[in-house]
Amino acid sequence: MTLTVFQLASYLVYGTLAILSLFALSIGLFKLIQFARLGVGRRKEAEKILDDWLNGRVDDAIRSAGRRKSVLSRVLQAVFSGIQARPNDVSYAEELSRQTALIELASLSERMRSLDMVVQAAPMLGLLGTVVGMIDAFSVLAVTDGAVDPTLLASGIYVALTTTAAGLAIALVAFFIATWLEGRIDRERNLMEALMSAAIYGRVDPNAKSA
C-alpha cells in the first residue's frame, strides 16, 4: 500500500511526540539525579551548621560546611569565608555568598527551559497531527465518485484525533514534572536567602518586641 504525503506526515508527528515524551522523562530523571548529587533539600544539615556558627562554634561550623556536600552548605561556606576574610566588611560576605548562590541556582535551573518547551510544543504538535490526519481522511471524499464508506472515514478521524490526545498527555506530564522541580528550586532559593541573612546578621526572634 502506497502511503500519501499526509499519512507520512502523521507518522512523523507520532514519532516526534514519542521523542518528546522520552525527552521529558529523561530530563525529569536527570534533574532527580542532579538534585541528589548537589544535595538539594538538606535543610536540617544547614540549620545545624548555622547553629554552630551563631553559638560561637566557628571552627565546627566551617569544618562542617566544607565537609557537607549540599547547596545550602556551600552558600554558608561562602558566608563564613567572606566574614573571615573581611570581618569589618559585611557587604563582602553578602556579595560572595550571593555569587555562590547564583552559581548554584544556575545549576539547579539547568534544562528547565527544555521542559517548558515540551509543555508548549507537545499540544501544538498533536494538533498539527490531527489537522493533517483530518485532511487525509476527508481527502477520500475528493477522489471517490460513489458513496464513501463511513466506517473508513470515521476510522481516519479517530486516528487523527489520537495525536491531539497524545500531545496533551505528554504536555500534562511534562507540566507536572516542571512544576514540582520549580517548586524545589524556589524552596532552595528561599532557604539560601534566609540562611545567608541569618549567618551575617543573626536570627530574628519573631517574638521580640521593638523598644
Q: Residues 114, 23: contact at Cβ < 8 Å? A: yes
Q: What is residue 1's predicted lDDT score, i.e. its pLDDT? A: 46
Domain ranges of the chain: 5-201
pTM of this structure: 0.84
Rounded to whole angstroms, the Cα distance separating 132 from 7 reads 8
CA 142 from centre of chain:
47
Say how many Å lie between the first and final Cα of the chain, rounded.
88
The confidence score (pLDDT) of residue 211 equals: 44
Instruction: Quick: pLDDT tens for 154-197.
Output: 777 777 889 999 999 999 999 999 999 999 999 999 999 999 99
- Asked if 122 and 174 touch (Cβ cutoff 8 Å), the reply is yes
Which of 7-16, 108-117, 138-147, 151-160 shows the lowest per-residue confidence on average (mean pLDDT)? 138-147
77 within 8 A of 66, measured Cβ to Cβ: yes
